[in-house]
Amino acid sequence: MNLPLYAQLINLFAALLLLLAFAMLTQRRILSLIRLFALQGFVLMLSTGVVAYSTHQSHLYYSVLLTLVLKVLLLPWILHRLIDALNVRWDVETLIDIPATMLIGIVLVIFAFNLAAPISEIAGTITRSTLGIATASILLSFLMMITRRKAVSQVIGFLAMENGLFFAATSATYGMPLVVELGIALDVLVGTFIFGVFFFHIRETFESLDIHHLEKLKEH
């Protein structure tokens, strides 16, 4: 089948997003995690732009702008500042070793595609196949949050999940209503700030950002 160009582009970006999600899942070093996160944001912005252009959804341009400012520039910058301030550049050790994580990830992707298939059937939008990818990247970043042991990388996982959601929103439904988008963006921003505050508190309390310090409250 031959889709129109922009549809192919969107699918390409979608594929890129998935790839990046995998890359983040396997990435050991925090710095490069942040770079990957920024890159993901960038791809997200591009895809949103294409969708906006192709479907003439004017309000999507705002979200393009939003993505650029927030996900490509602001958040990575904040994260950089954080790890500079806390100098936690060392490698991230994971709970499960990388290959196993990869395998689980692949299983998840298949699962997500199956999940999204029936929906994509009924999707009216040109970008039907992307929903599955969005779902997949959400699950993948979830998996990443589970497997990481450093607070920072967990946060990055969370943000990546937001990206996945955002992508789902734009590609599957041409974006949510603007007010909602703004609200979401605001929450993400505030959230990140608060995360930052936490890093400092945790650090000054435990001299490290390793979350195995945070395992005292338990039931046995």
Partner 1 sequence: MDLSLFRPVEAAVTLSVIWLGLGAVGLALTRAPRVITDWAFPAGAAVALALAFTGLWAMNAAPSTAVLPAGLPDLPFHVRVDALSGFFLLLLGGVSFGISLFSAGYFRGAEAGAPGLLCLQYHVFLASMGFVLIADDAYLFMVAWESMALSSYFLVTAEHHDERNRKAGFIYLLVAHLGAISILLSFGVLHGGLGDYTFDALRRAELSAFWATIAFVLAFLGFGAKAGMLPLHVWLPEAHPAAPSPVSALMSGVMLKTAIYGMVRVIYDLIGGIRWEWGLTVLLFGAATSLFGVLFALMQHDLKRLLAYHSVENIGIILIGIGLSMVFLGSGHPVAAALALIAGLYHTLNHAVFKGLLFLGAGAILRATGLRNLNEMGGLIRYLPHTALYFLIGALAISALPPLNGFVSEWLTFQASLQAPLLESSVVRSLVPIVAAVLALSGALTGMCFVKVYGVAFLGQHRHELPEKPREASRWERAGMLWLAAACLALGLLPVFMIAQLNNVSQALIKAGLPDEAMASGWLWLVPTSSAQASYSPIVFLLVIAAVFALTYFVVRQIYHGRLRRADPWDCGFPAQTSRMEDTADGFGQPIRQIFAPVYLIRREIPRPEDPHPVFKQEVEDRHWAWMYSPIARLAEWLSGHVGRLQQGRISVYLLYSFLTLIALLMFVR
Partner 2 sequence: MEILLLLGAPFAGGIVLAFWGHRRFAPELNAGMSLLTFAAAAVLTARIIADGPILAWNENFFVDPFNVFLVALTAFVAFTTSLFSRPYMRIEAHTGRLTPNRMRLYHSMFQMFTFTMLLALLTNNVGILWVAMEAATLTTVLLVSLYRTPASLEAAWKYFILCSVGIAQALFGTILLYFAAEKLLGAGGTALLWTHLNEVKGELEPTVLGLAFVFLLVGYGTKIGLAPLHNWLPDAHAEGPTPISAVLSGLLLNVALYAVVRAKVLVEGALGTHLAGNLMMGFGLLSVVVAAFLLSRQKDMKRLFAYSSIEHMGLMTFAFGMGGALATFAGLLHMTVHSLTKSAIFFAVGHAAQKSGTQIMADIRGLIESNPTIGWGLMLGAMAILGMPPFGVFASEFMLLTAAMHQQPWATPFLLAALGVAFAAIFGKVQPMVFGTATANRLPHPPALIPVFVHLAIVLLLGLYIPPYLADWYRQAAALIG
The residues binding partner 1 (CB under 8 A) are: 95, 111, 114-115, 118, 139, 142-143, 145-149, 154, 211-212, 214-220
Smallest gap from Cβ 211 to partner 1, in A, equals 6
61: partner contacted, choices partner 2, partner 1, none (Cβ within 5-8 A by kind)? none
Q: Is residue 159 a contact partner of residue 75, using CB atoms and an 8 Å limit? A: yes
Binding residue for partner 2, selected from 77, 118, 137, 144, defined by CB under 8 A: 118
If one asks whether residue 217 binds partner 2 (CB under 8 A), the answer comes out as: yes
Of 34 and 60, the one with the shorter C-beta distance to partner 2 is 60
Residue 84: partners with Cβ closer than 8 Å, 6 or more residues away: none
Q: Which residues of 64-89 are buried (b: 16+ CB within 10 A; e: fewer)?
A: bebbbebbbeebbeebeebbeebebe
Q: Whole-angstrom Cα distance, residue 105 to residue 52?
A: 30
Q: Is residue 130 a contact partner of residue 14, using CB atoms and an 8 Å limit? A: yes
Paired with 148 in beta bridges are 94
Of 56 and 220, the one with the shorter C-beta distance to partner 1 is 220
Using left for φ > 0, alpha for ψ between -120 and 50, and beta otherwise, residue 207 falls in left
Locate tokens 């954080």: which residue? 82
Rg (CA), the chain: 18
Interacting stretch for partner 2, rule CB under 8 A, among 3-11, 21-29, 39-47, 134-142? Answer: 134-142
Smallest gap from Cβ 97 to partner 1, in A, equals 15
Question: What count of other Cβ atoms lies within 10 Å of the Cβ of residue 136?
Answer: 26
If one asks whether residue 151 binds partner 2 (CB under 8 A), the answer comes out as: yes
What amino acid occupies position 196? G
Interacting stretch for partner 2, rule CB under 8 A, among 11-19, 82-90, 93-101, 199-207? Answer: 199-207
If one asks whether residue 20 binds partner 2 (CB under 8 A), the answer comes out as: no
Q: Is residue 18 a contact partner of residue 133, using CB atoms and an 8 Å limit? A: yes
Interacting stretch for partner 2, rule CB under 8 A, among 35-43, 83-91, 98-106, 137-145? Answer: 137-145
Binding site for partner 2 (CB under 8 A): 57, 115, 118-119, 122-124, 131, 135, 138, 142, 145, 151, 154, 158, 161-162, 165, 168-169, 172-174, 176-177, 179-180, 183-184, 186-187, 190-191, 194-195, 197-198, 201-202, 205-206, 211, 213-217, 219-220
